[in-house]
Amino acid sequence: MPVRLFIPMLISVTAIIGCARGPSFEERRDAGIAAYQSGDLEEAEQILYEISADNPRDFETRYYLARTFAGAGNFPRALDEWDAVILLRPAFAEAHYRRGNSLVSLHRKKEAIAAWEEASRLNPGYVEAHYNQAKAYEEIEDYNRAVEKFVEAIGADSTFFPAQYGLAYLLERAEQFDIAADRYRSAMRADSTQVIAQMGYIRALRSSGDPSAAVEELDRFIATRNPQPPLSDSLESMRDAMRREAGVR
């Protein structure tokens, strides 16, 4: 009789223990990722940081914890996590790229450039990694390297407007107006909605000694954009000045 009673009791106890079981590692990780994706960075950090101690080699945990710290502006902690991610997957280009972003936010620009360089080496099509290098070189006034990296970014994706415009603007600043005009046209092809590229093209035409072409382009701009005051007044003044220049020439 005791044996017959013991078996159902054992089953009942097991069932109770099963029902009382807490969430699994995977369930907690999924909850942390969901919190990050919903924008609840505080909740994401709490969950992901806790479970990272349970399984420090889980890639997804460390990746989303790094993203969480970066999203919260805690770049020192983000950097630590990106280092952990890279230890787990050394060839993961995105981790090197985002590590560079954390480094530049900590004003460690040369290290950031090296991280972006590694990202673009691992993935030559990583246009943002090339572009970030170009902007960093431009900021430290290494203009030749900046041009090189803008060209690499365009080679990775010719439709990436920031690189097309960045190269055109840098060439304009270097007073390479003919080449700048060509690059502004490429930027306009990449994104025809960008006013800054059209205005850059007009400036480059004017500075290259072709005010008539600049006037034609400005006429086209005004006709298609229909700017309102005070911008329209400024553009009219610019057009009058260029027409006078064209007449003199």
- The rounded distance, in Å, linking the Cα atoms of 120 and 26 is 32
pLDDT over 70 (residue 5) = no
Q: What is the pLDDT of residues 165-176, one digit of tens each?
A: 999 999 999 999
What's the whole-model pTM score?
A: 0.85
- The rounded distance, in Å, linking the Cα atoms of 143 and 244 is 35
Lowest-confidence range among 26-30, 113-117, 147-151, 243-247? 243-247
pLDDT band at 20 (very low <50, low <70, confident <90, very high): low
- The rounded distance, in Å, linking the Cα atoms of 41 and 162 is 29
User: How confident is the model over 203-232, as a mean pLDDT?
Assistant: 88
Its sign, for the CA torsion 51, 53, 54, 57, is positive
pLDDT at 245: 80
- The rounded distance, in Å, linking the Cα atoms of 96 and 90 is 9
Backbone phi and psi for residue 191, each to the nearest 5 degrees, phi listed first: -155, 100
- Percentage with pLDDT > 90 across the chain: 78
DSSP annotation of 158 reads T
pLDDT band at 49 (very low <50, low <70, confident <90, very high): very high
User: How confident is the model over 103-128, as a mean pLDDT?
Assistant: 98
pLDDT band at 15 (very low <50, low <70, confident <90, very high): very low
- The rounded distance, in Å, linking the Cα atoms of 146 and 174 is 12
- The rounded distance, in Å, linking the Cα atoms of 193 and 248 is 33
Q: Which domains does the chain have, with CATH numbers?
A: 47-133 (1.25.40.10), 158-249 (1.25.40.10)
pLDDT over 80 (residue 231) = no
pLDDT at 26: 96
- The rounded distance, in Å, linking the Cα atoms of 130 and 225 is 32
pLDDT band at 87 (very low <50, low <70, confident <90, very high): very high
- The rounded distance, in Å, linking the Cα atoms of 212 and 210 is 6
DSSP annotation of 90 reads T
Cβ neighbour number for residue 216 with a 10 Å cutoff: 15
- The rounded distance, in Å, linking the Cα atoms of 232 and 154 is 33
pLDDT at 13: 46
